[in-house]
């Protein structure tokens, strides 16, 4: 009948509303869960952690710069120590040369073997002292720089230690930032889902408020209302009868409630199934989120390992840089030593030039010494004069002795060991043989002396371009007889 059909339509309309209300509840639950994710997005905390990481990375860069400066300072220190060793060795050699030159009394330089006068000694001492003073000043400056470097390295190491204490929190902050970044990504996804869920909830609420649902059912109910009007159906009377019937028919009411319950049971079951399905969907979503969190955790672990590798590589780079700086320091030290050796080479070349000049002058002086020594020009003069002197003396001696005596002047004599030495020996030959000058005395010795002296006077006068006009003879005639004296006069006037 009409009422039964109308009641069925009302039941279907209530089921439609119940379905919307269930959908509304599900959306509200979903929105609550998403809001929880959004409220715990940790964006502010992530931003704070990122600020701390940026500050500590600046500190880390400062620490690395200090390590680089320490390495460069140690490189410079190594070069300076090498320079000090070189300067100490060269300074010791200079002191020894100065002492040898200052304490030497020889006319020969103890350093180069050249002839050494006082002026040359003072010049060399001045040059050596200047070189030593220059080396001492360079040594003092290098030593002072080494002390300054030690102070700078100590200060840098102290700052590195302080910065290292600050950087101890950097790995933990980086791991925390990775976790917060994952949670922030989840919050971003939740915002997108929340917007969609809110739009769906608003549409459901609007449909419930405006009863914008079950239009076909409402149209059928409207047609039934028209049909009841045509048959004279009185609603008030029907309700009065129904009320009276309800008052007397409790069982019928209960039966009706039971029927209604049976009628709504499928929709309620449907709603329950929907909620269970929604719960399962949310559980699956949570499981997916857990899987995503685990994946992000693995990524964080991998990134942490990469950070460790990065730090190891940074340490390796610093180590290699330190080795490079040490090698550069050794190169710098070698260059300094090379420069010092080049300076010494230049100095040696200058000294070689001076030595060669001194040797040349020494050779000249030796030639002059030899020339003006007993074996030089005087000997040559004597050797050139002896034949002339010997000839003139023999002419006089022959006149005075009627040719019985003849003398010979010898400039070499033989020693006991067979060697020869320079001398001036007078050997006289007469009818008795050859005898040395010392074996003659009296008149014979006077005639020999007289012949040599007159011959020498004539030779000197001739070489001077003069004439021998006067001859003074003191004594000597007492050893001569009349014939001897006449021979002397003839020899003089000849």
CATH number of 385's domain? 3.40.50.300
Task: Assess whether 486 and 399 both reside in one domain.
Answer: yes
Task: Assess whether 331 and 191 both reside in one domain.
Answer: yes
Distance from the Cα of residue 393 to its chain's centroid: 93
Q: What is the largest CA-CA distance in the chain?
A: 226
pLDDT for 249 equals 46
What SS3 string covers the chain?
CHHHHHHHHHHHHHHHHHHHHHHHHHHHHHHHHHHHHHHCCCHHHHHHHHHHHHHHHHHHHHHHHHHHHHHHHHHHHHHHHHHHHHHHHHHHHHHHHHHHHHHCCCCECCCCCCECCHHHHHHHHHHHHHHHHHHHHHHHHHHHHHHHHHHHHHHHHHHHHHHHHHHCCHHHHHHHHHHHHHHHHHHHHHHHHHHHHHHHHHHHHHHHHCCCCCHHHHHHHHHHHHHHHHCCCCHHHHHHHHHHHHHHCHHHHHHHHHHHHHHHHHHHHHHHHHHHHHHHHHHHHHHHHHHHHHHHHHHHHHHHHHHHHHHHHHHHHHHHHHHHHHHHHHHHHHHHHHHHHHHHHHHHHHHHHHHHHHHHHHHHHHHHHHHHCCCCHHHHHHHHHHHHHHHHHHHHHHHHHCCCCEEEEEEEEECCCCCEEEEEEEEEEECCEEEEHHHCCHHHHHHHHHHHHHHHHHHHHHHCCCCCCCCCCCCCHHHCCHHHHHHHHHHHHC
Task: Assess whether 315 and 381 both reside in one domain.
Answer: no
Mean pLDDT (whole number) for 125-138: 87
pLDDT for 346 equals 80
Predicted structure pTM score: 0.38
- Joined together, the tokens standing for residue 398 give 């022959």
Q: How far is 360 from 356, CA to CA, in rounded Å?
A: 6
Residue with tokens 């609007």: 206
Task: Assess whether 18 and 68 both reside in one domain.
Answer: yes
Q: Has residue 463 been placed in a domain?
A: yes
Residue with tokens 């000058």: 437
pLDDT for 378 equals 65
pLDDT for 478 equals 58
Q: Has residue 202 been placed in a domain?
A: yes
Q: What is the band of 146 on the pLDDT scale with cuts at 50, 70, 90?
A: very high
Q: How far is 393 from 385, CA to CA, in rounded Å?
A: 12
Mean pLDDT (whole number) for 341-364: 79
26-77 residue pLDDT tens: 878 877 777 766 665 567 777 888 888 899 889 889 989 999 999 899 888 8
238-260 residue pLDDT tens: 555 455 544 544 554 455 556 55
Q: Has residue 25 been placed in a domain?
A: yes
Residue pair 43/184 in contact (Cβ under 8 Å)? The answer is: yes
Q: Has residue 369 been placed in a domain?
A: no
Task: Assess whether 164 and 298 both reside in one domain.
Answer: yes
Q: Has residue 365 been placed in a domain?
A: no
**Nearest by Cα to 340 from 59, 77, 134, 54:** 134
Q: Exposure string (b/e) for 331-360, b if CB count within 10 Å is 16 or more?
A: ebbeebeeebeeeeeeeeeebeebbeebee
pLDDT for 141 equals 92
Task: Assess whether 400 and 325 both reside in one domain.
Answer: no
Neighbouring residues of 402: CB distance < 8 A, sequence distance ≥ 6:
487
Q: How far is 267 from 181, CA to CA, in rounded Å?
A: 44
Mean pLDDT (whole number) for 278-287: 74
Q: Has residue 364 been placed in a domain?
A: no
- 442 versus 263: the higher-pLDDT residue is 442
Q: Has residue 362 been placed in a domain?
A: no
Task: Assess whether 303 and 265 both reside in one domain.
Answer: yes
Mean pLDDT (whole number) for 108-127: 71
Q: Which of 316, 351, 386 marks a domain boundary?
A: 351
Q: How far is 398 from 385, CA to CA, in rounded Å?
A: 20
276 pLDDT more than 80: no
Task: Assess whether 125 and 24 both reside in one domain.
Answer: yes
**Nearest by Cα to 123 from 350, 359, 369:** 350
Residue pair 436/409 in contact (Cβ under 8 Å)? The answer is: no
pLDDT for 241 equals 45
Residue pair 412/375 in contact (Cβ under 8 Å)? The answer is: no
pLDDT for 150 equals 92
Q: What is the band of 153 on the pLDDT scale with cuts at 50, 70, 90?
A: very high
End-to-end CA distance of the chain: 209
Task: Assess whether 340 and 395 both reside in one domain.
Answer: no
**Nearest by Cα to 180 from 67, 46, 301, 287:** 46
Phi, psi of 470 (to 5 degrees): -130, 140
Mean pLDDT (whole number) for 118-122: 76
- Which residues on adjacent β-strands are paired with residue 408? 427
Task: Assess whether 13 and 128 both reside in one domain.
Answer: yes
Sheet holding 420-430, edge to edge: 406-414, 420-430, 433-436
Q: Is 417 exposed, middle or buried (0-12, 13-18, 19+ CB in 10 A)?
A: exposed
- Joined together, the tokens standing for residue 110 give 């103890």
Task: Assess whether 59 and 105 both reside in one domain.
Answer: yes
Full domain range(s) for residue 470: 377-493
- The average confidence (pLDDT) of the chain is 77
Task: Assess whether 100 and 202 both reside in one domain.
Answer: yes
Mean pLDDT (whole number) for 404-415: 81
pLDDT for 425 equals 83
Q: Has residue 284 been placed in a domain?
A: yes
Q: How far is CA 373 from CA 412, 460, 485, in A?
A: 16, 22, 41
Number of domains forming the structure of the chain? 2
């Amino acid at each position: 009948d009409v009422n039964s059909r109308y009641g069925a339509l009302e039941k279907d309309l209530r089921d439609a509303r119940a379905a919307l209300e269930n959908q509304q509840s599900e959306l509200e639950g979903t929105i609550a869960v998403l809001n929880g994710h959004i409220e715990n997005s940790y964006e502010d905390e992530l931003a704070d952690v990122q600020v701390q990481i940026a500050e500590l990375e600046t500190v880390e860069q400062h620490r690395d710069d200090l390590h680089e400066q320490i390495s460069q300072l140690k490189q410079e220190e190594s070069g300076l120590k090498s320079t000090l060793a070189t300067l100490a060795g060269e300074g010791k050699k200079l002191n020894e040369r100065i002492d040898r030159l200052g304490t030497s009394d020889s006319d020969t330089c103890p350093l180069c073997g050249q002839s050494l006068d006082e002026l040359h000694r003072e010049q060399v001492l001045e040059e050596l002292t200047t070189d030593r003073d220059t080396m001492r000043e360079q040594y003092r400056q290098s030593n002072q720089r080494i002390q300054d470097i030690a102070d700078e390295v100590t200060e840098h190491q102290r700052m590195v230690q302080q910065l290292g204490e600050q950087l101890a929190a950097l790995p933990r902050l980086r791991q925390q930032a990775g976790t917060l970044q994952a949670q922030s990504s989840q919050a971003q996804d939740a915002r997108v889902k929340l917007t969609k869920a809110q739009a769906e909830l608003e549409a459901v609420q609007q449909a419930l408020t405006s009863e914008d649902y079950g239009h076909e059912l409402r149209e059928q109910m409207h047609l039934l209302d028209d049909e009841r009007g045509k048959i004279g159906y009185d609603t008030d009377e029907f309700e009065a009868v129904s009320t009276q019937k309800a008052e007397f028919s409790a069982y019928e009411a209960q039966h009706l409630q039971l029927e209604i319950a049976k009628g709504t049971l499928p929709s309620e079951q449907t709603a329950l199934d929907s909620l269970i399905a929604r719960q399962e969907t949310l559980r699956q979503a949570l499981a997916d989120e857990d899987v995503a969190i685990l994946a992000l955790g693995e990524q964080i672990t991998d990134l942490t390992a990469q950070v460790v590798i990065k730090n190891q590589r940074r340490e390796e780079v610093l180590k290699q840089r330190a080795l490079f700086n040490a090698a550069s320091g050794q190169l710098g030290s070698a260059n300094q030593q090379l420069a010092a050796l080049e300076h010494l080479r230049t100095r040696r070349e200058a000294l070689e030039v001076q030595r060669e000049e001194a040797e040349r002058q020494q050779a000249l002086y030796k030639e002059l010494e030899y020339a003006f020594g007993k074996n030089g020009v005087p000997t040559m003069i004597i050797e050139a004069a002896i034949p002339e002197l010997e000839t003139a003396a023999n002419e006089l001696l022959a006149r005075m002795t009627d040719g019985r005596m003849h003398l010979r002047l010898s400039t070499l004599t033989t020693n006991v060991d067979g060697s020869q030495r320079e001398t001036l020996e007078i050997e006289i030959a007469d009818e008795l043989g050859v005898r040395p000058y010392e074996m003659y005395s009296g008149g014979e010795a006077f005639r020999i002396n007289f012949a040599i002296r007159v011959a020498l006077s004539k030779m000197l006068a001739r070489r001077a371009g003069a004439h021998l006009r006067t001859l003074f003879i003191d004594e000597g005639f007492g050893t001569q007889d009349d014939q001897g004296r006449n021979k002397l006069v003839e020899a003089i006037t000849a």
